Amino acid sequence: QVQLKESGPGLVQPSQTLSLTCTVSGLSLTSNSVSWIRQPPGKGLEWMGVIWSNGGTDYNSAIKSRLSISRDTSKSQVFLKMNSLQTEDTAMYFCARMDYSGDYFDYWGQGVMVTVSS
């Protein structure tokens, strides 16, 4: 069955770079698109960006200058890198598969909590 699992450091210092990995199983990244979505504690969901099945990417303009999403199809992994972290980047970070039309998110990872603090 389809599974996604996020991994990465739980604590990042302000101004540093966040690196997260989403490892997928039960699907091929060459025919599926994966998004990153984050949720600050007690708040709503924010779409960050997507890596499409063809390898192209799209980012939320609000954070585009700080964000990079890439993948390693041979390892079934999607990567997120975001620089210049601030305390407001403290959040649960989820990766999620987008349906084939790119409309909705039908499979989600359990999420990884990232705290930005010195």
Partner 1 sequence: DIVLTQSPVLAVSLGQRATISCRASQSVSISSINLMHWYQQKPGQQPKLLIYRASNLASGIPARFSGSGSGTDFTLTIDPVQADDIAAYYCQQSRESPPTFGGGTKLELK
Between CA 111 and CA 118, with CA 116 as vertex, the angle to 5 degrees is 145
- In three-state secondary structure terms, 75 is helix
Q: Say whether residue 1 binds partner 1 (CB under 8 A).
A: no
CB of 85 to partner 1, least distance (A): 20
Is 102 a binding residue for partner 1 by CB under 8 A? The answer is yes
The region of 18-26, 73-81, 83-91, 97-105 touching partner 1 under the rule CB under 8 A is 97-105
Q: Report which DSSP code applies to 27.
A: S
Nearer Cβ to partner 1 (29/112): 112
User: CA nearest 46: which of 36, 32, 33?
Assistant: 36
Given 1, 31, 54, 61, the residue binding partner 1 (CB under 8 A): 61
Are 38 and 97 a contacting pair, CB within 8 Å?
no
**Bridge-based pairing state of the strands 11-12 and 112-116:** parallel
Of residues 7, 15, 25, 45, which one binds partner 1 by CB under 8 A? 45
Q: Which residues bind partner 1 (CB under 8 A)?
A: 35, 44-47, 58, 60-61, 94, 96, 99, 102-106, 108-111
